[in-house]
Structure 1
């Protein structure tokens, strides 16, 4: 028994010998921070802070907390740069996504204010000097959610290729951002090329990669380019290949729905959307799209039922209300329409 105790004690000593203390991660974080790799540095600082002991110097905790604030601010500034780039490229939705992310990351009030002002300028109507009419009108009720702003007063700094790629893949759902990060440098280059409208170059690289690597991500990205070029048969072939590789990729299901709508196979689109809802593949978005497709099929009652069900889903509730209100008005249910407007659209409509 005593021999076992000695052996166990030695194991503990050995473990403690090799166990890294907070200074190891702090130093790694400092090095990454100096290299401008702020997301990685933030991870190291988080790890270091978790290893701080009650008897550790207070200055160590304060230093790490300060570095976490600094990395948050740096990441927020990178997101604002990418937001400006997206805006100048005409991608309003992506610009707002990056600005909102910057607001979440920033510790500095001035960065948050700038991000909020950036979004406010995008949401301004194109002609603010036009007098307001007495009718109901607001951006949330119009067909276009965001007006196109003037971009001349918003400057942009160009990010490194890796920084741009990292920011572009951050909004992907589920674990896709992690999986995209593992796709390699050539894929990242092609992905950014496509984002920059260098479609032929991106398509060529992705096609070359797909000959050597079997990947649902590659098949999906090529399918999107086929769809944009109206090569719909090729698009469907690629999407089927992607789903055969990985049924769990929600973007492949969503793209297949869009293809079914484009090729006027609406009953198939309904079946795919129902499967997405049941299996949890972007279920909130699928519920809304199912309402849209049912409306295309002329079944307004069923469409309204899906929009009403989507009101319980916070991520799409406002959009669901916007879609439900016109249907309610058409059905002569003005009181119900007004109730939805008051609850979800702050009285607009």
Structure 2
């Protein structure tokens, strides 16, 4: 494929499917799973393009990274990787989110205060020629040759073929803010938009108070998601996330099942102030609008916080679940007051520098 065509067309990143455990066998490459913004970097003859997972340009949000990669990378290469921000306690996804802002002045300030880095984990082109048809192990070898002398803010992700080492990474690297482990078939080509890899994430359970819900796609005959809460050290019920892993039949059943809890729900509800339009604590508000909501209707219905459910989650981002949780079961044996933060696992800190030294 000519270089002009290769660099003129966006590339859908190769994706991963969830696995419960690390795959067995020798023909697997294991890498840490980074918690950042997936990005494909095109280093053409004239400059650098940062492309997001959904094929949108990211250059304006990370000017310092665009400049650094332009200087560090040879012309004619394409890298797949992750944009991250490192804080004093490891990866800082909250700081990374702040970088996506409409004001150029704010972006410039944050580029100085919380500069981003790029962690490369695949090579899609070199010397103006595509490498996507090559097996994963060959692409990795060429990536190591290309980035053997890389310096911050450009990094090469660690890799191992040893399953026991990868299992150790799964446990230890979480303390540096990483998200799990990626397993890649060593002989597979790069497959854009295909779930050709495996992601093994940290899995835990928590008992949460169900304090509200949202309708399913504006239909008032099906429940879309349940709003979850945990009590903090001061006895305040904090919104920690949602669970929405229901079949369509179960969504309709939940309407009648939750109906009794809707009666006079706002009268003494701990989130009753959030039912109005003027809310100060927007970050914790269940229906808060943000640049990440994509215009979705996030209005919610209150429930008396009297029911408890057990959910499966991967990890916390600050005081909230990083991703949507998976509903496991109702806990009729559990009192809402017992659903506190102190039930959650505390992750031992781990130095981010040691991850790259692995």
Same fold (TM over 0.5): no
- Structure number with the higher strand fraction is 2
- Structure number with the higher helix fraction is 1
* Bin for the TM-score computed over the shorter chain: under 0.3
**TM-score using structure 2 length:** 0.25
Determine which structure has more spread, i.e. the larger CA radius of gyration: 1
